[in-house]
Amino acid sequence: MKYRNVGNSGLKVSEIALGSWLTYGTAAEQKAADACIEKAFESGINFFDTANAYNRGEGEKAMGAALKPYTRSSYVLSTKVFFPMGDGPNDRGLSRKHIFEQCEASLKRLGVDYIDLYFCHRFDAQTPLEETLRALDDLTSQGKILYAAVSEWTGAQITEAAGIAERLNLRPLISNQPIYNMFERYIEREVLPVSAKKGLGQVVFSPLAQGILTGKYKPGAPLPADSRAANNSVNSIITSYLNDQVLHVVQELEQVARQLDISLAQLALAWVLRQPGVSTALIGATKPEQIEENVKAVDVQLTSETVDQIDEILKQVAHFSPKR
C-alpha cells in the first residue's frame, strides 16, 4: 500500500480507502463488513469512511462494530453531517445545533472518542457559512474531531470558506469529497485547481462508477442477479450509467486494461490516482476478494500515451466529459 497526505495537512491515508455507502448497514450483512475490514487492514488500508445519513445511522453502527477489534490509532475514520436525521426543522443542515448534536450521535454509533475527518456532506445555503465553520472549529478544539472537511462543494464555496477561515483564524478545511471517475470529471474544471490553491485534498467516491467500471455489465445482456444494478433498494444512481453507449465505451476500456495485463477496475482506480490532487479513492466492497483486487491499483503506473488513449475513448460519451 502507498500513502498520501490529505491536502496540506499532516494526515496520511492509504491511496485506496474503504467506504460504506450502499453497503454496510444496508445491502451487506455485518459478517461481510467484518470480513472486508479485516482484509482491508491486511492490505494496508488505514482509512474508513461512512456517514450518519447512510441508512439513518446503520452504516455508522456497522462500521464501528467492524472496527472495534482494532487499535484506534491504527486507522483514520471519517463520517459526515448534513442530510436529515429526523423530521424536525433542526434535524438537518449545517447549523451549529445540528452539527453538535449529530457529532455526538455519530461518536456513540461508531463507539469512538473522536472522529478523524468530519465532512460537511453538502453545502447548506440556509446557514451562514461562518456559523458552520466556527462550529467545526469548536469541535476540533474539544478534540471530538481532528480535521474538518466538505463534500461536493463547488470551487466558489471552497474559496469562500477558505477566506472566512483565514480571516477569523479558524483551522482550515483539509479535504473535499467529490464524485470522480472516468465518466464524472466535473472537478477537473474548477474544484481541483481551487482545492490545490487552498490546500484541500480530494477523497473521491465512486471511482468505479457504481461498479460500471468493473466490466460486469454488458451491452444488451441481462443484469447479473447479484449485482447492485439488480437490487432495487440501492440501484437508483447506477441506472444513469446503464445505457449501451456507456457500456460499449466500457468494453473499449476493458481492451486497454487487457493490453496492460490488469483488470478494468485496477485501470479505473489507477486513472483516478494519477491525479495529483487526489488523496485517496474510496471503494465499496461486500467481498474481501474485491478489496484484494482493487488495492493492486496503487502499483499501476499509467503512461501519458495510455492516458491519452483513454481520453480518446471517453470522448464518445461527451455528456460525461469534463467540459459538460
* Backbone dihedral region for residue 93 (phi beyond 0: left; psi -120 to 50: alpha; all else: beta): left
**Catalytic residue among 54, 118, 180, 186, which?**
54
Q: For this structure, is 186 an active site residue?
A: no
Residue 19 CB-half CA count within 13 A: 23
Q: Which of 176, 145, 146, 172 is nearest to 161 (CA)?
A: 172
Sign, CA dihedral 162-166-167-171, equals: positive
Which positions are annotated as active-site residues? 54
